[in-house]
Each structure stands twice: as structure tokens, then as C-alpha cells.
Chains A and B, each alone.
Chain A
């Protein structure tokens, strides 16, 4: 049955995309290499080249299925969120739907004009003015000259760069460039929009405007596929969500249900306990470690602002005078957020035997996200007894004392705060 009759905008059956890596990729990267290869291994190369377009050895370790056997339908007017860990295949799916890359197998039917927002400002040229770049970028995104003419004023107004329209964009601040780029893309007229995380740009005010515009788009009856890592944005905009993992559809349905499942599973996969595999040969070994919440219960996730502690058990095989334990907490971008060590304490760690210590962090100002903890023991200044990288992982979630709290995406700290108002004497007198 045709797409239109079924009310579908997108129909995907068995969509797959495979990348060949490693040893199977013996096709040389230089032309000289390739030609030399023809002479040296004619038969091998012939087979290797033929194999590139056949993927019968499906589960060989030399292939990666970025997307595998995707079956789904998107109805006209649906706003579908696409979530999943990094590498789950979300961006690949959008690339296939945007015709940037070809599928290896399967078939997708799309009814309607498609506009893709996979990155803003593609094609912007520094030497050209804002005005010229609007036309250029619009044309690259698929708008005709007429369309751009008609929408020009709207685009400029949304971006807020009217005064600088005729200056080369190399003089623009990065914020201005982003606003202009997003503004062009936001005015694309197409029945189907594919959006990949472009909202993680710009300042607070602009992000709010973008979300507002996306809301508008969603309500205008257009079909939208929205890839995002922000569960909040997905829950706000999408009525249906697809959860992808390792290229396959894991869940497909109502947004809150799928998001719940996703958060649940992902919390369960974090390892908030550590156990040593064997006794190290050094002077002491970290036998176990775990993260405890405010009540002292081992946990993988903390609420915003919740005090927590890290408990470590060390086995000292001999006396270690001057031993110091340390913990270092990193965010998911490998940035060191804070560190603590026992050197200023009065803890007695010199004796052999088991030592159990607990480091309590009263003021938790971490923002929602994933964190990893590195643990270790040294004798200052530089003698390392044992260093365990990323011994623990945990996450801080958006719940604050049972309520969902909205933390803007680009702040660094999330200290607890409370508001009160001072009612002046003049008002109270009435």
C-alpha cells in the first residue's frame, strides 16, 4: 500500500548499514598501493573488493553494524524522538534518511520533502556577508532562491543579527554565527524534518527560542525525527520515542514509557562498586570500593544535591608509613572536577592489615550527568602504591527531593538554593 494512503511519512523495513573494519579492509588507501596489490595478490584483492559489497559473514569481528534490521513506521505529523547511547546508530539512521550515506541493506520509503538539520552553518564562508551566507546556506539546505527571498526577513529577525547583515561573518561572534545558521535551518519548508542534537548550541536565551521554534514546528503538523541526549527535550517535544542500541530498535512507543525504561537500564549498567580481581604485588591493594547515598545505602545514582560518600577497603600487606589515599572525580568529558585525599587528616594508615575508610561529601554540587571516580594510594610526594582508574561510576539525576528540577544544560555547578521574597513594610501596611 502506498505511503500516502497509509498516512505514513516514513516506512523502514530491514534497514541496515555496515562498516568494514580491521583486517578485512585490505583494500589499500593509496592508488599506488592498490595497483601494486593487483599484481601481488590478484585473487585476494578481487575477492576482497567483491566482499566489500556483500555482507554474508555477518557476525565477523571485522564488521560493525551501525544500524541493523530497522523496521519502523512514522505517521504524518508525528514527532518521534530517537534516543540511545553513543554509537547506537541514531546519527547513522538520520544520515541514511538524509541520503548522505547509503544503506547496505533494507529499504526506506519517504513521502514528502525532507530537510535535515545535522549540523548548523554547513557551507558558511567566512569572507561572505551574513546576507550572502543566508542565501548560500539556504540553497545548500535545499531552498530555492524564491523561497529564501520570501523568508529572508523572518530569518533575519529570528536570528537577531539585522545590524550586521552586510558584514563578513568572520567578524561575527560564534554566538551570532550559530544563531544565523540555526535561523536559516529553522525556516526550511519541508514536510519531514530530521534534527540531530543541534540544540546543544548557543546561549540560554537562544536555546529557549530554539525549543520554542521546535514546539511550533511540532505543532504545525510536520513530521519530525529528533535525535537527542536530553531526556527533557525529548519528553517535552515528542509523543513517541524510538530507543536504539547497537543498531537495533530496543523499544518503540510512548515517550515517557520508553524514556523510563531507558533511564532504568542505563542506571543499572553503571558500576558503582569495585572489587579487586587479584591481590596486587604492591605494598597494598584496594580490595573493594563502593558509592553510598545519603542514607548509607550502596547506589548507582544520586539525586541533585544529595550528599554521598565513597567507601574504600584497603589491604596493606606491610607497614606503609605516610600512606595517603585519594579520590578523584571526573565528569563524562574526562575533566577532573574535584579531588580529596587523606594527607590532612588524622587517619592512621601506617599499619599493615585491612583499613576501611569513608570519604563523605556533604555538599553535592554536581550537575545531572555521568561521573567516574578514580581511587588510589600514594606515599607523597610521588611513590604510587596503587592507582585504579575509573574504579567507580555513578550518575546524578534530575530529581531534587522527589521533584524534577530543570538544570540548564551548560552550567557547571548545581548547588542547592532556595528563594524567598522580602515583602516591604509599605506593602504590608495595606
Chain B
């Protein structure tokens, strides 16, 4: 079946080719959107390669997408909730943690995957030409599938708790509309940081050891294991510049109604996400020219 995109591409390939000029590039460049869209098929295959390879020979298959956040949820409930007595804002512990873990697990895995992608795929860099941005962006897209699975489990949990637990009722369904915004922020931040770290990792060997450590720091900086109520109001907006801060709290507010939707955090978070995405892209594009030489 022909789609509009296919038709356009086949027409383009029958036109006389334009001349490509290859010369040393200087200065800063931003993302080549045209090239990225032309690589749609490549994206599709690389993403499906990642996904299939991850699940092909495991018994649980896509179950692995759930195990990671669920096990963490159990751990956090026991360690932070019960043992350490960290407040969960009057919401059942498992829900409190799982609501945060769904977006956090995506961020964690997407960022790790992206940051390590260039070094892991050095043969793609040095043996064939693919638009370089495709490489870190592939895990960013691929992990969204795991995210969707975990999110559906979260919905099921909410329905379950709502029906069977007297301590919790699902309220304010209109708040669910903020979820797409949060998802965009989450993806933007992971992309920006992913592009930045992957470009640096090619050049500086110590980055790859720093990545797990950095992500741990980022987790504690976001209200994943602790409630936002612990932060005094004057710091909120500043902390909100870290986009995941607003994303996690936003997820909680929309799904388990701990607090109203944190528009202030989302606003600062957007500024932060846009900044990191632009910086990440610029650094990546500038370093791109050396990738094949130093990897």
C-alpha cells in the first residue's frame, strides 16, 4: 500500500539528483530535520531491532518492561516507606512509588541507552553513513514501548486500588490531559541529555563510568522516593528547572491526586528541557565531525 510519504520519496528519487558538497564544516549547526525525516525507515528498523533483540529469547518477553519498575516499587515501599518512614502524602505506598517509577524508569533507560549508544555502535559510525543523530535517538524512541506497557499496568493498579482500597479514590480525571505534556518534557530532556552525553562519551572515556552515577544523582534530585512537600516553597521554582522534577510530580498529581497539577514546576521544567535539548543538539552536531575519527 502506498502511503503519501512513500509516494513522495519515490518521486524524489526519480528527479535528477542534486549535487552534494563535502567540505570541512566550521561553526555551529542545528539539527538537519530533512535528513532525519528521510531516515524514518531507518529509525523504524533500528528501533524494532532494539526491541526485538531485547525480548526475542527471553521467556518473559515484554514482562521485563514491568519487572524493573515493580521491583523498585517494592523496594522503595519497604525501605523508604516502612523502614525509613518517608511520607507518601497519605496515598498507599505502592501507588505513590509506582506513579513516579513509570516515567522515571523510562528516563533512566532511555538516557542510559542514548548516552552509551555511540560507543556501543562504533561500527555504525565507522563503516557506513547514517545520520549520526539516529543513533542516540533510537533508544529514546524504543524505550517508549516499555513505558507504554508500564503505564498500562499503572492504570490497572489505579483502577484496582480505587475499587478495592478504602484509602484511595481516583479523582479529577481531567488532570489526565496534562500527561501528554509531561511525556513530551520527559522525552525532550532524555533526548537533550542523551545527545550531550553520547557526544562526550565518544571523546572522553571516563564519561561512560560516570553515567550510572549521574543518573542516580538525578533520581534523588527528583521526587521519586520522597514527596514534593518536603521542599520549601522558595526553592520550588528553581528546582523545577530540572524537568524531571515537574514531570514526576505532575504524574503524581494527575494520577493519584496528591497535590494540584504543578504548573509552576511544569513551566520551569519546559524552560529547562528546551535548554538542554538545544544545548545537547548543538554540542552533538559540533562533535559529530570527529566521531568516526575518535571512536
Contacts and interface: CB of A to CB of B under 8 A. Distances in A.
Given A31-B207, A104-B24, A135-B45, A128 B52 contact: yes
Which of B53, B56, B127, B203 has the most CB atoms of chain A within a 10 A radius of its CB? B127
B21 interface: yes
A383 interface: no
B293 A101 contact: yes
Interface string A98-110: 1111111111111
Interface stretch (A116-124, A281-289, A299-307, A337-345): A116-124
Contact of A144 (B9, B123, B292): B9
Contacts of A354: none
A122 B123 contact: yes
A127 B128 contact: no
Nearest to B17: A112
A97 B22 CA distance: 8
B20 A127 contact: no
A103 B24 contact: yes
Contact of B292 (A100, A104, A128, A191): A100
Nearest to A104: B24
A128 B205 contact: no
A315 B24 CA distance: 59
Contacts of B56: 127-128, 168
Given A19-B293, A135-B45, A100 B21 contact: no
Contacts of B53: 125, 127-128
B57 A127 contact: yes
Given A32-B206, A127-B52, A2 B19 contact: yes
A102 B128 contact: no
Contacts of B46: 136, 139-140
A103 B45 contact: no
Q: Which secondary structure characterizes the binding site on chain B?
A: helix
A101 B288 CA distance: 9
Contact of B10 (A112, A136, A146): A146
B49 interface: yes
Contacts of B13: 113
A64 to B, nearest CB: 12
Contacts of B173: none
Contacts of A30: 204-206
B289 to A, nearest CB: 4
Contact of B23 (A103, A111, A116, A168): A103
A103 B22 contact: yes
Contact of B22 (A31, A107, A145): A107
A297 to B, nearest CB: 46
A213 interface: no
Nearest to A99: B129
A118 B22 CA distance: 18
A71 to B, nearest CB: 14
Contacts of B292: 95, 100-101
A19 B205 CA distance: 19
Contact of A191 (B17, B18, B41, B293): B17
B216 to A, nearest CB: 18
Contacts of B129: 98-100, 116, 142
Interface in B43-64: 44-46, 48-49, 52-53, 56-57
Contacts of B210: 31
A199 interface: no
A231 interface: no
A178 interface: no
B78 interface: no
A200 B3 CA distance: 40
Contacts of B126: 100
20 contacts: A3-B19, A4-B16, A29-B205, A31-B210, A95-B292, A100-B125, A103-B22, A106-B24, A113-B17, A118-B128, A119-B123, A119-B127, A119-B128, A122-B127, A125-B53, A136-B46, A140-B46, A144-B41, A146-B6, A146-B9
Given A108-B23, A109-B22, 16 more contacts: A4-B19, A31-B207, A32-B206, A100-B128, A102-B24, A106-B23, A106-B24, A107-B23, A108-B21, A110-B20, A122-B127, A128-B52, A136-B45, A140-B128, A144-B41, A145-B44
